[in-house]
Structure 1
Amino acid sequence: MQTNDKNLARVRIMADFQFGKGCGDILFPDSVTFRLSKTKRVRQVFNSNDHIATVRASDGMFTLGIEGARSLHDFLPGPHKRVVVCEDAVPFVSQGKTTFAKHVTSIDPELRAGDEVIVVSGSDELLATGQLLLSPEEILVLDRGMAVDVRRGRDQA
């Protein structure tokens, strides 16, 4: 098995663990390329120069690029891994701005604080990807504070 094959198998297993069974194959097709650290560990994954994901050095989990979020969004049925925001927040979130608790209309109840999430509109249109800062229960009860630290917005330059 070549190094690329080992890396591909490793990232697919981690994606299945983090996002659910089958997500590894969807996120990382055979054509992906890797950017490695100085210690030869996978740091970033690309497909045709599109950023799919980055591996966090602190815990080995993935942070999604917008292309990775798009792949997961197309594969996973709602409400899995989704945070739904009101229409007032759509232009801001799609530009990469923070998602606040008062703008969240619904959320996947299986999520936990710290999870990588997909932020969508009420019509399930992909807006952004980021890290959930509060639990679903807290978000739905609170009317203030940051809910998702948006990493990449769909319309971000």
Structure 2
Amino acid sequence: MLKRARMIADLQFGRGCGRALFGEDTTFMLSNTGRLRHLHRDGERIATVRARDGLLTLSALGAKLLYDFLPPPRQRVVIRRDVAPYVAKGGTAFAKHVVSVDPEVRAGEEVLVVDEDGRLIATGRAVLAPEEMMAIRRGPAVLVRSGQDED
């Protein structure tokens, strides 16, 4: 199962991300149907495999591991400093707050939300393509799943 999780991460985020996210100490839980569902390290969730498409959603820990591994601007959406505290608590990152974005990001992908200083703020699902995030001034850009300051 560990090999499968690493393959999914490498496919989704790029070569090497599987090992960065899932070390040898990774444990996993299966769904009722026997499929890979949750991946943990020391009892803390790293990621969940989405049932609808088999891709990963990251927890705050998973986002931090990926952030530490991937060089900027990979998988990153940069937001303004003044809204970072709101987004870090799990608030939506709106298009008008986006300063820059990795041009390789696609709508629907899991992304890392960082502030202008490069600090990890949250992880979530990109709603818009990079060009749209930069051009549109209304609506959500990233639906935040896990903020770094959530209790």
Q: Tell whether the structures are fold-level matches, with TM greater than 0.5.
A: yes
Distance 2:136 2:61 in 1: 31
Aligned to 1:71: 65
2:37 alignment partner, SS class: strand
**Structure 1 residue 107 displacement after superposition:** 0.2
**Structure 1 residue 123 displacement after superposition:** 1.0
Distance 1:52 1:132 in 2: 19
**What code does the residue aligned with 1:83 have?**
V
Distance 1:65 1:42 in 2: 16
Please give the per-residue CA displacement for 1:87-125, whole angstroms capped at 9, x wherever unaligned. Answer: 111110100100000000000000100000000011110
Aligned to 2:94: 100
Aligned to 1:4: none
Distance 1:93 1:51 in 2: 20
Distance 1:133 1:113 in 2: 5
Task: Give the TM-score normalised by the residue count of structure 1.
Answer: 0.95
Map 1:1-157 to 2 at 5 A: 7-157=1-151
Distance 2:4 2:46 in 1: 15
- The runs of at least 4 consecutive aligned structure 1 residues that moved more than 3 Å come to none
**Structure 1 residue 148 displacement after superposition:** 0.2
**Structure 1 residue 128 displacement after superposition:** 0.3
**Structure 1 residue 51 displacement after superposition:** 1.0
Task: Give the TM-score normalised by the residue count of structure 2.
Answer: 0.99
**Structure 1 residue 39 displacement after superposition:** 1.3
1:130 alignment partner, SS class: strand
Residue identity over aligned pairs, in percent, reads 52
Distance 2:7 2:80 in 1: 34
2:78 alignment partner, SS class: strand
Q: Which runs of 5+ in 2 are unaligned?
A: none
Aligned pair count reads 151
2:72 alignment partner, SS class: coil
**Structure 1 residue 49 displacement after superposition:** 1.3
Q: Which runs of 5+ in 1 are unaligned?
A: 1-6
2:131 alignment partner, SS class: helix
**What code does the residue aligned with 1:55 have?**
V
**Structure 1 residue 40 displacement after superposition:** 1.2
